[in-house]
Amino acid sequence: MDSNTLLGGRYTLSEIIGTGGMSDVYAGTDTLLGRDVAVKMMRPDLARDTTFLERFRREALNAAKLNHHAIVAVYDTGTEEVSGVDVPFIVMERVTGQNLRDLVRADGPLSPQKAAAFLLPVTHALQASHDAGIIHRDIKPANIMVTNTGSVKVMDFGIARALDDSTSAMTQTSAVIGTAQYLSPEQARGKPADARSDIYALGCVMYETVTGVPPFEGESPFAVAYQHVQEDPVPPSERIPNPLTDNEAVNVDSVILTAMAKHPADRYQTATEMGEDLQLLEHGNVTTAARNHLSAAEHDAGAHAVDNTVVVGDAVSGPAPRRREAMANASMETTAPTPTTVAHSQVAGSRSPGMGRPNTITLATLAVRTIAQNASAWCIRRCSARAENTNVNMRESARIGCTTSSVPNANAAA
């Protein structure tokens, strides 16, 4: 576009500040209000395609419905004739900073605590979007902007869909729409997406943010989509560069793998739920996901106990996971080791050879075993072996407000 062009009689354009599959984004100025803006213009060669025109129109309409500090605001929309073709444009808030993808590439993976802090505003933005009846359907690091002041904003509602919209050709169940690395299993199957599909994608984003790599990679988008449907991801704690304690590993694994559960009913049911766990993770507290996995593991420990171990202490409060208990009964018998001693404080039972205190099973041991039931046999062996290296008093680690970093390591205490 010519920099002398005055779009809509009020917007001047300067340099290109971003490009996408169907549009270019220019730095611009609103001459009427005297403010900086970003102007997204569809590429002229695509402006004759009704599908792309509908997608562009949808982005403008959906984004205009949303008014939230963590969502890039849309100010105006219109068309400009270019080479005899009416090219649509969207005028948006200009965000100065870099997207999360570039941030991770430049600075390396973030710590789980820092990643949780960055992604917490994204859950707020998604909840606002879902409350307005809009599913984003393309949450990925490139669509999450981090401003120079540290604020986080979600952008690009180009393939977003209204929950009550079942008529558009772009939203037919046979269409697979989204970015392969962050595609939910139901989207990969061509099934309708709902709010929990965005939660799955955010789980994938967090996985990449803390490990530096997406959960699944392949030679083609189809190969990656297949893995989302059929394969289990390597637990993120196994790929995080910096060492974690076993309890910290369980905490981050519980949050990410709950968000990335294959079945939508096993995920966080709302973005707010995930945000609450991210807030706990940011401050090093035991997350609800970890507590739920622990609660399910205690249930399984009682169901499969084969000795006379006495279980003492109060049960951890909070609901058990929605579908895991039924799945656990089938998979525990063939894959997961059977815990024989469970305690919050101390367990009346046998003592380990050479140790002067009763056996205990840690938060890490129990939770990892339960998480592993939905993972591959490889995950079970690696995670359970890692967790068995600790021996932590369960009452202390399960207490509300207790931080994972404050739980003593058994090896240090022995």
Q: Provide the token pair at 366.
A: 């129990």
Which residues lie below 8 Å from residue 338, measured CB to CB, with a gap of 6+? 301, 304, 305, 306, 332
- CA-closest candidate to residue 163, choices 127, 184, 140, 132: 132
Rounded Cα distance, 317 and 241, in Å:
33
Q: What is the largest CA-CA distance in the chain?
A: 86
Helices (H), 283-362: 288-304, 324-332
Rounded Cα distance, 201 and 208, in Å:
11
Rounded Cα distance, 400 and 287, in Å:
10
User: Which residue out of 138, 198, 246, 266 is catalytically annotated?
Assistant: 138
Angle between helices 195-211 and 271-282 (to 10 degrees): 20
Q: Provide the token pair at 132.
A: 């307005």
Q: Are 290 and 278 in contact (CB under 8 A)?
A: no
Rounded Cα distance, 284 and 46, in Å:
48
Which residues lie below 8 Å from residue 249, measured CB to CB, with a gap of 6+? 235, 237, 240, 364, 368, 386
Kindly report the number of other CB atoms within 10 A of residue 35's CB atom: 12
DSSP symbols for 237-256 = GGT-SS---HHHHHHHHHHH
Known catalytic residue at 138: yes
Which residues lie below 8 Å from residue 63, measured CB to CB, with a gap of 6+? 71, 72, 73, 74, 90, 92, 157, 160
Residue 372, phi-psi category: left (phi > 0), alpha (psi -120 to 50), beta (remainder)? alpha
Q: Are 363 and 398 in contact (CB under 8 A)?
A: yes
Q: Are 144 and 208 in contact (CB under 8 A)?
A: no
Q: Provide the token pair at 218.
A: 């392949």
Which positions are catalytic? 138
